Chain A
Amino acid sequence: MKIRTMKLLIKEGAQNVIKNKLMSFASIMTVVATLFFLGIVLLLAVNISSNIEAMKRDLEITVFLNVNATNYQREEVVSFLESKKDAGIISEYRYESKEQMYQNIKESLNDDSLLEGFTVDNAAESFYIKLVDPNSSDEIITELSRFSGVNKDNGIGYGKDELDKLEGILKVFNYIIMAILAVLMIISVFLISNTIRLTVFARRRQIEIMKYVGALDSFIRWPFIVEGLLIGLIGAVLSFFITSQVYKWLQGFINGILVNLKMATLRIMEFGPVAFRIFMIYSIFGMVIGGIGSLLSVRKHLNV
Chain B
Amino acid sequence: MIRFVDATKIYSNGVIGVKNITVNIEKGEFVFIIGPSGSGKSTFLKLIMHEEVPTEGEVYVNGYSVHDMAHSEIPYLRRSLGVVFQDFRLLPNKTAYENVAFAMQIVEATSREIRRQVPLALGLVGLSKKAKAYPDQLSGGEQQRVVLARALVNNPAVLIADEPTGNLDPKTSIEIMNLLEEINQRGTTVVVATHEKSIVDSMKKRVITLEHGEIISDVKKGSYSNEN
Contacts and interface: CB of A to CB of B under 8 A. Distances in A.
Indicate whether A and B interact: yes
A172 interface: no
Chain A residues touching B, majority SS: helix
Interface in A1-20: 1-2, 4-5, 8, 19
Interface stretch (A25-33, A64-72, A133-141, A213-221): A213-221
Interface stretch (B9-17, B102-110, B213-221): B102-110
Given A4-B111, A5-B105, A216 B91 contact: no
Interface in B72-99: 72, 74-79, 81, 83, 89-93
Nearest to B82: A213
B106 A219 contact: yes
B67 interface: no
A40 interface: no
B148 to A, nearest CB: 13
Contacts of B71: 303
Contacts of A211: 74-75, 78
A2 B89 contact: no
Interface in A215-254: 215-217, 219
B108 A209 contact: no
A213 B102 contact: yes
B49 interface: yes
A303 B53 CA distance: 13
B3 interface: no
A211 B92 CA distance: 16
Contact of A212 (B89, B107, B108): B89
Interface residues of A, number: 21
B83 A212 contact: yes
A213 B152 CA distance: 11
B150 interface: yes
Contact of B110 (A4, A214, A304): A4
B75 A216 contact: yes
A206 interface: yes
Contacts, number: 53
Interface residues of B, number: 26
Contacts of A198: none
A178 interface: no
Contacts of B93: 19, 206
Contact of A215 (B49, B75, B83): B75
A212 B78 contact: yes
A57 B111 CA distance: 66
Interface string B107-122: 1101100000000000
A213 B106 contact: yes
A210 interface: yes
A303 B74 CA distance: 11
B106 A214 contact: yes
A304 B79 CA distance: 15
A167 B22 CA distance: 80
B78 A206 contact: no
Contact of B49 (A5, A19, A209, A212): A212
A19 to B, nearest CB: 7
Contacts of B105: 5, 8
A190 B20 CA distance: 47
Nearest to A210: B106
Q: Please indicate which of the listed interface residues A2, A8, A210, A214 has the most CB atoms of chain B within 10 Å of its own CB.
A: A214
A209 B106 contact: no
Nearest to A12: B105
A206 B107 CA distance: 17
**Which A-B residue pairs are the 7 nearest by beta carbons?**
A214-B79, A214-B78, A214-B75, A215-B106, A209-B89, A216-B75, A213-B103
12 contacts: A4-B108, A210-B91, A210-B106, A211-B74, A211-B75, A212-B49, A212-B78, A213-B79, A213-B102, A213-B150, A214-B77, A214-B106
Given A209-B89, A214-B106, A217-B75, 5 more contacts: A4-B108, A205-B89, A206-B93, A212-B49, A213-B83
